[in-house]
Structure 1
Amino acid sequence: MPVIRRSLTLAAALATTAALGLPAVAIAADGRTAAPRLDLKDGRLDWGLKESFRKYVTGMAHGTIETVGGAQQGADNGPFTFSGGTGSYDTATHSVATTFQGGVRFTSTAHGFDIKIADLKLSTKGTGGAITADVTAAGRTQDDVPLASLDLSGVRPGSGAGGAMTFAGIPTKLTAEGAKAFNGMYKEGQELDPATLSVTPATTPAPKPDPTQPPTTGPSTEPTTEPGDKSGDKSGDKSGGKAGGESAEKPGTGKPAEKPGTDKSAGGSGPGTSSAVAVGTLVDGTLDWGVKKSFREYVTGPIGGGKAELGGGAATSGAGYRFPKGHGSVDTGKSALTADFNGSVRFLAHSGALDLKFDNLKVKVSGTKGTLVADVSAKSRASGKVTTTQAMPVADLAVPVGALTPVKNVVTLDKVPAKLTAAGATAFDNMYPAGQALDPVTLAVSLDANAQLPAGAGGSGAGTSGGSGTGAASFSSGNGAGGALAATGSAVPTEALIGTAAALVAAGGAAAYATRRRAIR
Structure 2
Amino acid sequence: MPTTAPRARRRPVMFAAALATATALSAAALAAAPGAAAASVPLTGYELSWGIKESYRTYVTGPYTKGTFTVTDGASQADGNGVFTFTDGQGTYDSTNHTLHLAFKGTLVSESPVHGFKRVLSDFQYDSATGVLTADLTADDGPTQQDVPFATVAAPTGADMSDLATTLTAEAGTFLGGSNYAGAAGDPLSVVKKQGTTSPSPSPSESETTSPEPTSSPTSSASPSESETGNPSSPKPGDSASPSAKPTASTSPTASTAAAPSRGDIADGRLTWGVKDSFRSYVVGPVAKGRITASDGASQASGNGAFTFADATGSYDTEAGTLSAAFKGAVNFKGHQGEGESGGYGLDLTLNHVRATLDGGSGKLTADVDSLGEKSANVVLADLKAASTKLTAKNDVITVNDVTATLTEAGAKAFGGFYAKGTALDPVNLSVALTKDAELPSGNGTSGGGSGTGGTGSSGGTDSTTGGIGSTTGGIGGSMAATGAGVPVGALGAAAAATVAAGAGVLFALRRRRDTQA
The TM-score, its normalising length taken from structure 2, stands at: 0.46
The TM-score, its normalising length taken from structure 1, stands at: 0.45
Is the helix fraction higher in 1 or 2? 2
Which of structures 1 and 2 has the bigger CA Rg? 1
